[in-house]
Amino acid sequence: MAEDRPQIYLITPPAFDAAEFSPKLASVLDAHEVACIRLSIALKDELEIGRAADALREVAHARDVALVIESHVQLAERHGLDGVHLVDGARQIRYARKTLGDEAIVGSYCSASRHEGLNAGEAGADYICFGPIGETALGTAERAEFDLFEWWSEVIEVPVVAEGALSEDLIAQFTPVTDWFALGEEIWREDDPAAALGRYIAAMG
């Protein structure tokens, strides 16, 4: 991957069988350079989440790829993950940093709010996630517009991640103003996720 291109950040499906998903993830990681994986799972059973975390950690760490977990700070520590992705702006960042230490990755989703992003950055987030950048009927978030990313990339040093309803056209448009693209269902719903990711990477130009 060219150094000036945004990096790829993968998001797991919200529900999956670890035994089936692990080889699929491995094939994607073997085909493309990926900076980070987010375990974003809708399960409420901590034992099941832990089993998924352990399975994906083996796949990711064998390939020197970081694995963070969405929201569950204590599970990140317990299962030897690289950090946590928080979904409530700046509110838990200091707690996560205190719990996981300075070396851990602590990221923050801030919807389309410049104010939330600035607060999260000041609280010590390693990256800020804005989205969705595409049209979606899911959730209640307004779209994170191009000018937010453009302003952020010019003014703020904290890396910025674009996610949510990505398309190849949006990838091409946002490539100059984002540091990472976070892709999840955009590739996992395809029969060949590695090939799908390849198309998105090619769209960066």
CATH of the domain at 20: 3.20.20.70
How far apart are the C-alpha atoms of 20 and 190, rounded to whole Å?
A: 15
Q: Which domain holds residue 179?
A: 7-203
Grade residue 141 by pLDDT with cuts at 50, 70 and 90: low
pLDDT digits (tens, 9 = 90+) for 48-94: 999 999 999 999 999 999 999 999 999 999 999 999 999 988 889 99
Residue 1 in any domain: the answer is no
Longest Cα separation, the chain = 43
| DSSP helix/strand/coil, 141 | coil
- pTM score of the predicted model: 0.95
Q: Which residues pair with 84 in a beta bridge?
A: 69, 106
Residue 92 in any domain: the answer is yes
Which residue is listed with tokens 């910025």? 160
pLDDT digits (tens, 9 = 90+) for 71-82: 999 999 999 999
Say if CB 81 and CB 100 are below 8 A apart.
no
Residue 90 in any domain: the answer is yes
Domain count, the chain: 1
Residue 13 in any domain: the answer is yes
| DSSP helix/strand/coil, 66 | strand
Torsion of CA 146, 151, 156, 158, to 10 degrees: 0
Residue 180 in any domain: the answer is yes
Residue 2 in any domain: the answer is no
